[in-house]
């Protein structure tokens, strides 16, 4: 039994090693100090700040891996490496569409959709690679920037195989809400129900009679985290105020780790799960984070504002809750 186990572990190790290849990332035309960070598979890698080679190292390529090159200006460009296609070159001329990964079909698909020249090419290139999750993922994240009409959205969605349709979840939510009235200041709240990490559900209509502050956020949102200490301080001054944070992603463990690192403890529900969650975010016009709505005790939308910092929250609360 022991020998069999050792043989199995050796086989697994051999399989893993067999799928590891050397990945090289080179630059042309940039100054070394132009670069902020290089990530491969969501992990920051050690970057060389001298010469043309930014990175060289062994990476597990059991499946295509996405990487990102971030400049200090904030501009970034993504790439895909895969077995047999591991040499990345980023050119200053034409950046961010200037990355080349010879032989990488995954990068070819990504580039065709993400860097499509116009709206028509965005749709046609997606349809060309309609069975590739990378194409669908890029379409799902970029269709709003292209301002596509329903006909184009339905053309892509209907052409997608049923088992791949989850890659178009944002598209589906958008189409489901295109003809519905969105939330507006001066109008009434659009009620929803959502659950926290422990599956305890909270319904906005249960807070009638109190002011309600809705905080639409995301785990990776830096301004959200930067704003929480002030939000904790300001909202604690009002007994007749309830706060709900609703995160667009589902990275509960990562959120908890960041909260611990930043010593942030929210004494209000942090919501993650909900039926028609993406539709709710569409109806609330969430295009970035943090997005806030202040709701009156009768359900009227009093204020809406984007971002954190400064004394915006303090002034909004004083304006309405100190009357």
Q: Per the domain annotation, does 188 fall within a domain? A: no
From residue 56, alpha-carbon distances to 24, 107, 192, 224, 289 in Å are 4, 19, 49, 34, 35
Residues 198 and 316 both lie in one domain: yes
178-198 residue pLDDT tens? 999 999 999 999 999 999 999
Q: Per the domain annotation, does 286 fall within a domain? A: yes
Q: What is the CATH number of the domain that holds 255?
A: 3.40.30.10
Q: Per the domain annotation, does 5 fall within a domain? A: no
Q: Determine the structural domain holding residue 101 and report its residue range.
A: 21-113
Helix segments in 143-284, DSSP class H? 150-159, 169-177, 222-235, 252-262, 277-283
Residues 55 and 142 both lie in one domain: no
142-189 residue pLDDT tens? 999 999 999 999 999 999 999 999 999 999 999 999 999 999 999 999
Phi, psi of 81 (to 5 degrees): -115, 155
Q: What average pLDDT does the segment 98-105 reach? A: 97
From residue 191, alpha-carbon distances to 92, 212, 217 in Å are 48, 12, 18
| pLDDT cut 90: percent of the chain above it | 90
| pLDDT cut 70: percent of the chain above it | 94
Residues 93 and 142 both lie in one domain: no
State pTM to two decimals: 0.88
21-31 residue pLDDT tens? 999 999 999 99
- For residue 68, what pLDDT is reported? 95
Residues 222 and 293 both lie in one domain: yes
Residues 136 and 160 both lie in one domain: yes
Q: How many domains does the structure of the chain reveal? A: 3
Residues 288 and 303 both lie in one domain: yes
Residues 211 and 306 both lie in one domain: yes
Q: What is the CATH number of the domain that holds 75?
A: 2.60.40
Q: Mean pLDDT in the chain?
A: 93
DSSP 3-state helix, strand, coil percentages of the chain (rounded to 5)? 40, 25, 35
Residues 120 and 109 both lie in one domain: no
Neighbours of 6 (CB within 10 A): 10
Q: What average pLDDT does the segment 285-308 reach? A: 97
Residues 106 and 120 both lie in one domain: no
Residues 235 and 285 both lie in one domain: yes
Q: What average pLDDT does the segment 238-257 reach? A: 97
């Amino acid at each position: 039994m022991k020998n069999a186990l050792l043989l199995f572990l050796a086989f697994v190790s051999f399989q893993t090693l067999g799928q590891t290849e050397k990945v090289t990332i080179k630059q042309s035309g940039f100054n070394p100090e132009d670069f902020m960070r290089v990530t491969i598979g969501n992990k920051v890698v050690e970057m060389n700040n001298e010469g043309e080679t930014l990175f060289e190292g062994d990476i597990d390529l059991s499946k295509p891996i996405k990487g990102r090159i971030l400049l200090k200006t904030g501009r970034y460009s993504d790439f895909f490496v895969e077995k047999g296609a591991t040499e990345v070159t980023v050119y200053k001329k034409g950046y961010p569409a200037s990355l080349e990964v010879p032989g990488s079909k995954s990068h070819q698909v990504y580039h065709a959709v993400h860097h499509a020249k116009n709206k028509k090419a965005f749709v046609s290139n997606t349809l060309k690679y309609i069975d590739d999750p990378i194409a669908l993922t890029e379409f799902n994240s970029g269709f709003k920037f292209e301002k596509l009409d329903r006909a184009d959205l339905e053309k892509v969605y209907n052409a997608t195989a049923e088992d791949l349709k989850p890659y178009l979840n944002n598209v589906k939510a958008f189409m489901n809400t295109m003809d519905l009235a969105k939330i507006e200041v001066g109008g009434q709240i659009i009620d929803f129900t959502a659950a926290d990490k422990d599956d305890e559900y909270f319904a906005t209509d249960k807070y009638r009679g109190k002011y309600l502050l809705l905080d639409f956020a995301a785990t990776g949102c830096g301004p959200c985290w930067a704003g929480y200490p002030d939000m904790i301080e300001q909202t604690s001054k009002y007994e007749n105020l309830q706060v709900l944070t609703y995160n667009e992603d589902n990275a509960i463990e990562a959120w908890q780790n960041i909260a611990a690192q930043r010593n942030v403890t929210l004494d209000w529900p942090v919501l993650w799960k909900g039926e028609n969650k993406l539709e709710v975010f569409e109806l609330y016009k969430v295009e970035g984070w943090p997005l806030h709505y202040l709701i009156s005790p009768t359900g009227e939308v009093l204020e809406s504002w984007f971002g954190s910092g400064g004394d915006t929250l303090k002034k909004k609360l004083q304006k309405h809750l100190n009357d």
